[in-house]
Structure 1
Amino acid sequence: MTPSVRPITPERLADELADRIAALPGTPWLRVAVDGAPAACPGALADALCEPLRLRGRPVLRVSAGDFLRPASLRLEYGRQDPDSYYDGWLDSGGLLREVLAPLDPGGSGRVLPSLRDAASDRATRAPYTELPPGGVLLLDGALLLGRWLPFELTVHLALTPGALVRRTPPEEHWTLPAYARYDAEAEPTGSADVVVRADDPRHPALVERPG
């Protein structure tokens, strides 16, 4: 059956997602990924989830994948505008797993490093570790997060049509567009994410509801 699409306000979207996250069973901590191209503003949705989750009694820790990029010497080895490097080699997946996600495994320490590297200065942030209390929720936003075997209890993908992606991506970043086309083809985020939100217009999102 074809999925249905339900228009929803941004506020209601945050409330419904917070309800779903707060109801997840099982582990001492919950790891939630909000995935999407920068043009889809995944950070804004992750930020919007913080207060609703706190109102539901869940401590929250916000982390951005953009603070876990590899050093420039590795990231830009093939130039500043190589879409394949952007797709495969910019995110320090190992650092993100080691410092953020693995400590929130069952039996983990709960001790998370909220940022690793400042991409602008290409220096370590020297951020202190933060302990997420049991029952807490990690909200991680970023691009190209799915299909990397990173452990999450819930994944949310903000989907853009190709036309909206082009319109909402600044011209100086259009070199990244082939990476997102490759991501759609290889990682299939609209099929693999637990929740898909159509985000062509951030003021009027729509929730994709799969049958069954």
Structure 2
Amino acid sequence: MPTPPRGRDATAAKPDTAPPGREQTRQRVVDAAIDLLTRGGRDAVTTRAVADAAGLQPPAIYRLFGDKEGLLDAVAEHGFTAFLATKHIDPDPQDPIEDLRAGWDVAVEFGLANPALFTLMYAEPARSDSPAFRTGMEILMGRVGRLAAGGWLRLDEELAAQTIHATARGAVLTWLSLPEDRRDPALFTTLRESMVTAVTQQEPAVRDAGPAGAARALRAVLPEETLLSSGERHLLREWLNRLATES
């Protein structure tokens, strides 16, 4: 279970070498904005304050980012990229349920370590256009796909991914919205385990990995299926028979 930190947002690691020219200046401005955001919240991130902190004139912010919202989008993208770097991808986890829990914990831990940045990242739906955000969701869909292939998934893959993402994000934002004397760390365990129960089966529905195992599992319950016509069931059984005997 993630341990709630105290104090300021954690500072994301800086690259060893800064990009040259314009990109170096952009990064300096983003770093200055993150520092102001961490210390004073979103209201502290004004174009003048960021320009002063970065050693620039305010018009430079508009040349680099278009406007303040463009700057905030760049800050959010930096956050999504930093979050992406914390993700661990195991293409063949020994225990896919524990892998799901670990991935959920990583998301919560990042949010607790970077509260102001996390809030900015997830405060507006438009942030989902971020390339790094989309890459992170692709990683989540890969994890969900492995659960589905192993017969562990209880929900449709898209709904499962939305549930996992929503509970992690909601856990952090709820924690941050509470007065400190009302923050109970059990919130995280409760939400995480509720998510696991909602998304996964206690036992895999498919015992054998691969198409053959899945086909045998589906063939076993096919007689109970009433949505398909008898002809459709017959055709589906033929396909499943071929898959089930595939070596």
Global fold match (TM > 0.5):
no
Q: Which structure is richer in relative contact order (CA contacts within 8 A, separation 6 or more)?
A: 1
**TM-score of the pair, normalised by structure 2:** 0.23
- Structure 1 or 2: more strand by fraction: 1
**TM-score of the pair, normalised by structure 1:** 0.25
Task: Please identify the structure whose Cα radius of gyration is greater.
Answer: 2
